[in-house]
Structure 1
Amino acid sequence: MNGARSLLTTLVDQGVDVCFANPGTSEMHFVAALDTVPGMRGVLTLFEGVATGAADGYARMSGKPAAVLLHLGPGLGNGLANLHNARRAHVPMVVVVGDHATYHKKYDAPLESDIDALAHTVSGWVRRTLDVGDIAVDAVDAVAASRAGVVSTMIVPADVSWNDGEPTEPLPAGHPAPGIDDDAVREAADALNSGVPTVLLVGGDATLAPGLSAAVRIAERTGAKVLCETFPARLQRGAGVPAVERLAYFAEGAEAQLVGAEHLILAGAASPVSFFAYPGRPSDLVPQGCEVHVLAGHSGAAAALEQLADDVAPGTTASVAPLMRPDLPTGELTAFSAAAVIGALLPEGAVVVDESNTAGVGVAAATAGAPGHDVLTLTGGAIGYGMPAAIGAAMAAPDRPVLSLQADGSAMYTVSALWTQARENLDVTTVIFGNGAYDILRIELQRVGAENAATPGPSALRLLDLGSPTLDFVKIAEGMGVPARRVSTAEDLAAALTEAFAAPGPHLIEAVVPSLVNT
C-alpha cells in the first residue's frame, strides 16, 4: 500500500479515529486514502487554527488524541496559536504536516520553509518520515508520545505519501501510567501536618472529580486552602462536585489568595507566576519564605492526591457544591445579568467552552451551583480558541450540549468554525458577548502604566475599539448556515437560550452588553 494509506491505517489501529483537516496539494494522497480507511472520520475546517483548536477540544473531552492534517509550513504556521494552547493544556494530539517531495525541496519552491523548526516551537515530539517503510513505526511512536500529553508532529513528504512499499511492522507502543512518588507524598503530608498555613494548588488531571474530591478531603481535615490553576484544561464543577476556587488572573488577586502561605503544594499545576510583567511588581507570585513542594506533574496528580488524602484524611468524604441557581434577571442586558441567565438555564451535563474573557467575568460565580458540568478554558492565552474547541468537544461528547461562551474580539480570529459546526450539525450554542471593544486591553493599558494611560488619546483608543464598522454576528453566522439572533435584554437572552438548548444543531446568540471599562 502507499504511504498515506499505511499512515491512516496505523492511526486508526492506534485508536485515532478523527482527523481535522485543511489540506493542500502535498496532502492529496492522504485525502484520497480516507475512502479506503473507513475507520477515520475526516472533518474539514476552513482555517488551520480551527483544525488545531478542534483537535484540542476533542482531546480534552475524549481523553484520546485526534489527528490534524496541515499543508506545509504556512499551514502549520496558521495553526500555531491553538497548538500553543494545546501544548499548555498537555492534551494528546497528532499533527501530520505534508511537505514537498524529497527531491523537490532543493528547488526552493514558493511554499518551501523550515517546517521542522516551526513544529518544535509547539511540539514535544517531531519526526520527519523519509521512507514509506518507516511510516507505520513513526505513526505508532507519534501516538505514543501524544498520549504522554504532548503535541506530536509527523512531517510527511509528498513522495513518501504516494510511494508504495511494505511498511516495517511497528512494535506495540505501551502507555504506562505515571507512578506515585512516595517521597513526594510524605513531604506533602509533613507540610500539611505542620500546623502552618498551607496552600494546595491543583491542575492537570486533578481538576476532574476524583482529584477535586481528594483535594477537598485534605483541605477539610487539615485546614489547608485549595486553589485550582487559573486556566485548567478541563474542570468539572457545579452541583454534586467538590467546589474549588480558581487562582485569580490578575497578579494582585492571586497574591491575596496566597498571602501568608508557608507551604505551597503543587499537584498537577505549575508554580504561580504573573501572566505579564508589570513595572515595579514581582513576576513570581509565591510568597517570600514559602516552601514549594511538587507532589505530581500534570498526569498522575489525581492519583497522588488520593493517596495523600488517604494518609492525612482517612475515612473522610469531601463536601460538594449544592444545587443553587440564580433567579432569572430582567431588564437591559449587562455582563452580570447575562451570566445570571446562563447560570439559571445551564443544562445538566453541559460542556462549557469559555473564551468569554472580560465580558464573562460573572459566569463562574453564576454557574457555581448549576447542575454538574465541564468547563474548558483558554490554557495558553492565545485567543481564537473557543469556537474551534467547541467543535471538538461536541464531536467527543455528542450526547451532551455544548455552550460556547465567546468574546466578540476573539470570535473574529476563528469565526469560520461556525461553518464546520453547521456542516457537521453539531449541538453547539454559541453566545457572543458583544461589547464592541477589546476590554481586557483597555484594562491592561491602565495596569502597565503606559504613557498617558489615564487619558488615552484617540489613536490609542482606536486600536482597542471594535466599532466603525460594527460587527454583525447574526449575519456572519447566518451566512455560514448557523441560525442566529441578537438580544439586548435578559428576558430575550433567556428565551433564546431556552430555544437553542431545545433544538438540535448549532445556534448563535449575539448578546449585546455594555463595556465594563469607562473610556
Structure 2
Amino acid sequence: MTTTRWNGAHRLLRAARARGIDICFANPGTTELTLVSALDDVPGIRPVLGLFEGVCTGAADGYARVSGKPALTLLHLGPGLANGLANLHNARRARSPVVNVVGDHATWHLSFDAPLTSDIDSFAKPVSKAVIYLRDPASLPAQLQEVFDVASGPNGGVVTVIAPTDVMDADVPEEEGSEQRAAPSSPAGLSGKGVVPDGDIDAVQAALAHQRPVILLLGADALTERGQRAAARVAGALPGRLLMESYPAIVSLGGDLPRLERLAYFPQDVLRQLGDATVVLVGAKAPVSYFGYEGQPSALVPSDRIIVLSRPDQDSVAALEALVARMEAPTPVVAPQAAPAVPPVADGGPLSPAAVVDDLIDRLPEGAIISLEGSTLGGPFLQRAYRARKHQVMTNTGGAIGQGLPCAIGAALAAPDTRVVSLQSDGSAQYTVQSLWTFARERLPVTVIIAANHRYAILQTELTRADTAIDGEVTGRLTRLDNPQVDWTALARGYGVPAVRVATRQELQEALDRGLDEDGPFLIQVDLP
C-alpha cells in the first residue's frame, strides 16, 4: 500500500475533516503557523479569522449549537487560550462539541521558560471534557482518534488539544484512503445518547399518578420540536405545565409549538413560579439559585418534590415518547400563531424594551435564529417569543458575558440562508466588540440590536434588591456607562458594519425593516432610558 508524507498539522486537519468538521475559528500566532499553512493544503475546512480569541471560542460554540457538529478553534499558546476561556466556559455549560486547538512551544524548548511559556493544561482543564497533549509523531494517530471520538460523540463537549510546534512540523506517514476509513460520526444530538431504562419510565408514570400539581422542566434535547410536542402530550394528560430551563443552549419557539414558560431568574420568583408543584426533570438539572443569597435556599425545589425522567446526557425525546405511549396521552391541538401583521409606522413615542421586542416579533422571519445576551431585551423577548413565527433562540448558558455577538457569528455560518438576530446589551457587547469586524468580513446576515441604556442594568437591579443606592459615588461610577456614552453606530461603521441609531418607534420600525432585509450585517443602536 502506498503512503504519502504529511506533517503533524496536515494529519490533525485531515483527521478533523474526515470526522465532518468543516470550519476553524482562528486567532493564531507564531506557534500555530504550521497549522495555518496546512489549512491551505486541506480542502473543506473554512478558516474564519477572529480579532480576539473570545470571538473565536464563542463563534465555535454558536456554530456547534446550530449545526450539531464540532467546530475547530486555533489559539495561540496559554495567553491566547486564557483570552478565550470565558466563552469556552459557556460552551461547556451548553455541552457544545468544540475541538479547541492550542499551539505550544516545541517540546525541547519548554525547559527554557520563554516569556510565553505557561501551564496550558491547567488553563484548559476547567472548561474541557478532555485535554490531550500531542506527545510525539508516533502517538499522533491514536491521540487524534481519541480527540475526535470524544468531541464527535452524542454527548460531546469541549476537547482541548495542545499541539507543540515540533509535533506539528514532524513528518507523519499516512496511508492513502485513511480518511475514508475514519467515517464522520453523527452530529451530536439524539442519536446515541444514553437510553432511559424502561423501568425508570414505568416508575415515573406510577409516581405521576399520585402527584398534583406537576411541572415538566425541559432542557437539552427535550427543547427540540419533537421533545416539546411529546412533553405537551404528557402535560395535557396529567394535566401539568411546561417550563424550559432559564438559559437553554438552543430552543425552538413560536409558530405552532407549545407555549413554554421560562424558569425565572431570581430565587424568590422561582419559588413563586413553582409553588408546591412536583417538578419532573426532562433533560434539565434541578433548579438552583444563580447566586447565593443570605436567607434564600440554594436548592429551589426540595428533593421529595423532584422526579427525574431523563438527565441532560440521556435521550429525553425517546423517554418522553415512551411515557406518552404508556399514558395513552392524546395529541393536544395547538393552534399555530397567525403571522403577525406588521403595524403601520407609529409617529414618535419613546422606546421601551417591550416595544422593541414587539416590533421585532412582528417582523421576525420564519426560521430565524436569535442570539440573546442581556436581560434588558432578553427577558421581554422570551416572554413574547410564542407569538413569533417559528424560530430558534440561543442563550448565555454559563453566564460569562461576551457570548452574544460571537455566537451569532457561528450561527450565521452554520445556517447561511437564515437571518440571525443578535439581541445584545451594550455593556456585555464591549467584551467581544471585535465580532463586528468578522460580521463585515464574512458578510454575515446578522442584524444586531444593541439595547443602549448606558449602564450595567443587572448590577443596578441587584443593588436595588439589596436596598443599596445605585447613585452613590462608587456604585454610580461602577455601574453607569454614560460618561462618555458609547456611540455604537460609529463603532460599527469603523468595523465595516452599516448602522443606525433610533430613539422612537417610527425610527425603530424603519430600521428593522431595513436591517432584517440587509444583504449582510446591520446594527441598530436603540436608545433606552
TM-score of the two chains, using structure 2 as the length reference: 0.93
Cα distance in 2, alignment partners of residues 134 and 12 from structure 1: 19
Distance change (3 Å), C-alpha of 1:215 and 1:381: same
Q: Could you report, residue by residue, the CA deviation over 1:161-206 in whole angstroms, capped at 9, with x for unpaired residues?
A: 1111225979858763422321221122112222432221110011
Cα distance in 2, alignment partners of residues 227 and 378 from structure 1: 17
Q: Which shows bigger deviation, 289-298 or 306-315?
A: 289-298
Matching of residue 196 in structure 1 with residue 201 in structure 2:
no
Alpha-carbon offset, residue 266 of structure 1: 1.1
Q: Give 2:69's aligned residue.
A: 64
Cα distance in 2, alignment partners of residues 326 and 235 from structure 1: 24
Q: Give 2:251's aligned residue.
A: 235
Cα distance in 2, alignment partners of residues 423 and 94 from structure 1: 24
Alpha-carbon offset, residue 448 of structure 1: 4.1
Secondary structure of 1:38's partner? coil
2:43 to 16, 21, 38: 38
Q: Could you report, residue by residue, the CA deviation over 1:131-182 in whole angstroms, capped at 9, with x for unpaired residues?
A: 1233333223222212323101111101001111225979858763422321
Q: Give 1:112's aligned residue.
A: 117
Q: Give 1:164's aligned residue.
A: 171
Secondary structure of 2:160's partner? strand
Q: Give 1:14's aligned residue.
A: 19
Cα distance in 2, alignment partners of residues 298 and 324 from structure 1: 36
Cα distance in 2, alignment partners of residues 89 and 190 from structure 1: 32
Distance change (3 Å), C-alpha of 1:62 and 1:320: farther
1:251 to 249, 258, 267: 267
Cα distance in 1, alignment partners of residues 437 and 140 from structure 2: 33
The answer to whether the 8 A contact 1:192-1:224 is kept is no
The answer to whether the 8 A contact 1:242-1:320 is kept is no
The amino acid that maps onto 2:521 is: P
Secondary structure of 1:95's partner? strand
Matching of residue 206 in structure 1 with residue 206 in structure 2:
no
2:438 to 389, 403, 420: 420
Q: Could you report, residue by residue, the CA deviation over 1:405-440 in whole angstroms, capped at 9, with x for unpaired residues?
A: 100000000000010011011100000000010000
Cα distance in 1, alignment partners of residues 202 and 332 from structure 2: 21
Q: Give 1:96's aligned residue.
A: 101
Cα distance in 2, alignment partners of residues 106 and 432 from structure 1: 47
Q: Could you report, residue by residue, the CA deviation over 1:345-381 in whole angstroms, capped at 9, with x for unpaired residues?
A: 1111110111132344322233321110000111111
1:352 to 345, 370, 373: 370
Cα distance in 1, alignment partners of residues 511 and 313 from structure 2: 38
For 1:23-422, list aligned pairs within 5 A: 23-147=28-152, 148-166=155-173, 172=182, 176-261=192-277, 263-287=278-302, 289-317=304-332, 319=334, 321-323=336-338, 325=340, 328=343, 331-422=349-440
Alpha-carbon offset, residue 62 of structure 1: 0.4
The answer to whether the 8 A contact 1:217-1:318 is kept is no
For 1:460-499, list aligned pairs within 5 A: 460-499=475-514
Q: Give 1:517's aligned residue.
A: none
Q: Give 2:447's aligned residue.
A: 429
Alpha-carbon offset, residue 482 of structure 1: 0.4
The answer to whether the 8 A contact 1:387-1:414 is kept is yes
Distance change (3 Å), C-alpha of 1:282 and 1:32: same
Q: Could you report, residue by residue, the CA deviation over 1:469-517 in whole angstroms, capped at 9, with x for unpaired residues?
A: 1101101000011000100011111111111112210100101111xxx
Please list every run of 5 or more consecutive structure 2 residues that lacks an aligned counterpart in the other structure. 1-5, 187-191
Cα distance in 2, alignment partners of residues 240 and 47 from structure 1: 40
The answer to whether the 8 A contact 1:353-1:390 is kept is yes
Distance change (3 Å), C-alpha of 1:266 and 1:195: closer
Cα distance in 2, alignment partners of residues 271 and 159 from structure 1: 47
The answer to whether the 8 A contact 2:421-2:447 is kept is yes
The amino acid that maps onto 2:282 is: A
Q: Give 2:189's aligned residue.
A: none
